Structures are given as structure tokens and as C-alpha cells.
A and B are shown apart, each in its own frame.
Chain A
Amino acid sequence: KQEVTQIPAALSVPEGENLVLNCSFTDSAIYNLQWFRQDPGKGLTSLLLIQSSQREQTSGRLNASLDKSSGRSTLYIAASQPGDSATYLCAGRSYNTDKLIFGTGTRLQVFP
């Protein structure tokens, strides 16, 4: 059974810092992993999707990596901005299933 864990639960950094959010999963038979951001009172915005055959994906200041052998994914945010403040969720999809298993998220605050 897939379980997803995110560390840290909360993070507060000054504007301009580069930061790394961590996601661990227990089932290495993962088909893909998706990173989302959730703003208060809002739904989820898809940031990046990494397929099992890929090692990383990049979008602007965001870079996500996937290491199936160690059961880890990281989301790297470069030059953080106050607008990056949100909860970041990772979710894994295993083979032969369509549902996503979510971590509990990392609540990020970037202060000016």
C-alpha cells in the first residue's frame, strides 16, 4: 500500500532563498508523481508531473526530481518570492490504479 510523507510540515524563509521540499513514498512501483500547490480556500494547482521513466522536470523556477530506488522526490524552488507562499502537496500514482495518494503537504511562507 502506497504511503506518501512530506517533510518539513512547515517552512518559513526570507524572499530570495532557494529551497527544497521533500516527498517520500513507500511503494517504488510508482507510475508517476505530481506536485501541486494549494492556496488557502482554493483547490489544487498542478505544478509538475514526473513520469516513472524520468528523473526530473522543470518549469520556470521550479524543478522536481524523482528517485524511485530511494522512494524520494524533491521540489526545488529557486529565488523564492512571497507569491510562492502556499501549501505544496506531492501525490503518487502506482501502476494499475488511477487514484493519487497524497502527502499531507508542506506549508511554505516566504516573507519579504
Chain B
Amino acid sequence: GAGVSQSPSNKVTEKGKDVELRCDPISGHTALYWYRQRLGQGLEFLIYFQGNSAPDKSGLPSDRFSAERTGESVSTLTIQRTQQEDSAVYLCASSLRTGGWNQPQHFGDGTRLSIL
């Protein structure tokens, strides 16, 4: 597709369950980012991928959160043993990284995660 695609668009699950969120970046974009937007708060950075490597994981809030990227394309964000405070919209972005850092980030519509 032409834009960043995220699935599912909505996810409701019980506390304690594991969830996987998927992001398909724009074709050819080597950089991929995950952010979280909790209700009434700004976007928080979670993790950044360049290719399949994650040089910056500093935003992951706990060891229950992990992410991977394969084929320099699809990325999966996994949250284990979900807690109610994990409820948020999880946004993925990608950018064309050609050696400079002045490329805009393009965002998907997000996954709205609700923990009961």
C-alpha cells in the first residue's frame, strides 16, 4: 500500500494476556518507529529500527515490551502479561533514511489497545 499499515485497528483483551501488534511500513523505508499515545497524553517514543536492528530501545517501559523487525519490512510489537496501564493507541511510523536525518516520519492510523 501507499502508506503505513497497522493491524489490528482495535484490540480488546483481558489483563494478563499477551498481545501482538503489527506494522507494515512504506515500501523502501529503512527506518521504523513505534510510539504510544495514552489518553490525554502526548506521544511517547518506544523503539526505533534501522533495517532489522534496534539501535534505540530506550522508550520501552518494561521488559514486558519487546519488538522485532524482519526483512527490513514488517515489525511486531509484543506486550506480555498486559496491564491496564498498557491501554493506549500504539502508533507506528516509517521514514526514508538515506544517511541524513531530515526525512519526515509517516504514521499509520494506530492500534487502539484496551485492557479490561
Contact = CB atoms under 8 A, between A and B. Distances in A.
Interface of A: 4, 31-32, 34, 36, 41-46, 49, 51, 89, 91, 93, 97-105
B31 A32 contact: no
B111 to A, nearest CB: 10
B91 interface: yes
A33 B93 CA distance: 16
A90 B104 CA distance: 12
Given A89-B43, A104-B42, A32 B109 contact: no
Contacts of A91: 43
Interface of B: 4, 6, 31, 33, 35, 41-45, 48, 50, 55-56, 58-59, 91, 93, 101-102, 104-110, 112
Contacts of A103: 42
17 contacts: A34-B104, A36-B107, A42-B110, A43-B6, A44-B93, A46-B106, A49-B102, A89-B42, A97-B56, A98-B55, A98-B101, A99-B48, A100-B43, A101-B45, A102-B44, A103-B42, A105-B42
B30 to A, nearest CB: 11
Given A49-B102, A49-B104, A98 B31 contact: yes
A102 B43 contact: yes
Contacts of B4: 43
A14 B110 CA distance: 31
A31 B91 contact: no
